[in-house]
């Protein structure tokens, strides 16, 4: 008997850094048990994933093909994949009124500082992206390692929210 593949949507405001990193990491380590997506509440016109984010993903051996910034509106339509879990990874998106998600997925907030915010040298900015990648990866490895019972719909919300404490 095969386990159900859980669909996880990571949300941030612009969908250019943290949510993109989380999508790529979970798809890389998800072992076929997870399919990850990302979106933003208000991506800017012609928004693209941050080049430093793509650089740290590639340096970590994580595929970046197909990553793109997109609006969360894409995931609120009847044609969109039905999510099992929606995780906000920035405080701005966590405080916004989210659209209705078909299927009423579990929700959680995992706040991370924006690695693209602030000034600094190119090396400092790159290091901020590396640190964010590693922090996300640690938490996502915990999610991936959970037994199937912890990922059942009735348990998923409390499990995902408890991972924010790690």
Q: Are strands 34-40 and 106-109 parallel, antiparallel or unpaired?
A: unpaired
Q: How far is CA 7 from CA 115, 121, 152, in A?
A: 25, 37, 12
Looking at every residue in the chain, the average pLDDT score rounds to 89
Q: How far is the C-alpha of 142 from the C-alpha of 137, rounded, in Å?
A: 9
Find the mean pLDDT for residues 105-130: 91
Residue 164 or 17, more confident: 17
| pLDDT, tens only, 89-98 | 986 655 566 6
Fold of 6-149: Rossmann fold (3.40.50)
| pLDDT, tens only, 139-154 | 999 999 999 888 887 7
Query: Nearest CA to 50 among 83, 24, 74?
Result: 24
Q: Using DSSP, state whether 94 is helix, strand or coil.
A: helix
Burial degree of 48 (CB within 10 A; 0-12, 13-18, 19+): middle
Confidence (pLDDT) at 1: 35
| pLDDT, tens only, 20-72 | 999 999 999 998 899 999 999 888 788 899 999 999 999 999 999 999 999 99
- Phi, psi dihedrals of residue 155, rounded to the nearest 5°: -105, -20
Q: Using DSSP, state whether 31 is helix, strand or coil.
A: coil
Q: Which residue has the tokens 């924006």?
A: 114
Model pTM score: 0.91
């Amino acid at each position: 008997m095969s386990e159900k593949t859980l669909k996880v949507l990571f949300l941030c405001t612009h969908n250019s850094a943290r949510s993109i990193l989380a999508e790529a990491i979970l798809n890389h380590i998800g072992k076929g048990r997870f399919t990850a997506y990302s979106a933003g509440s208000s991506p800017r016109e012609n928004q693209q994933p941050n080049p430093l984010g793509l650089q740290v993903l590639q340096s970590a051996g994580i595929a970046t093909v197909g990553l793109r910034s997109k609006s969360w509106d894409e995931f609120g339509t009847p044609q969109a994949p039905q999510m099992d879990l929606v995780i906000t990874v920035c405080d701005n998106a966590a405080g916004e009124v989210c659209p209705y998600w078909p299927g009423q997925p579990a929700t959680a907030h995992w706040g991370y500082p924006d690695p693209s915010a602030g000034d600094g040298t190119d090396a400092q900015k790159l290091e901020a992206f590396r640190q964010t990648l590693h922090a996300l990866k640690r938490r996502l490895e915990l999610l991936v390692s959970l037994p199937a019972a912890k990922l059942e719909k009735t348990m998923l919300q409390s499990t995902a929210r408890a991972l924010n404490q790690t």
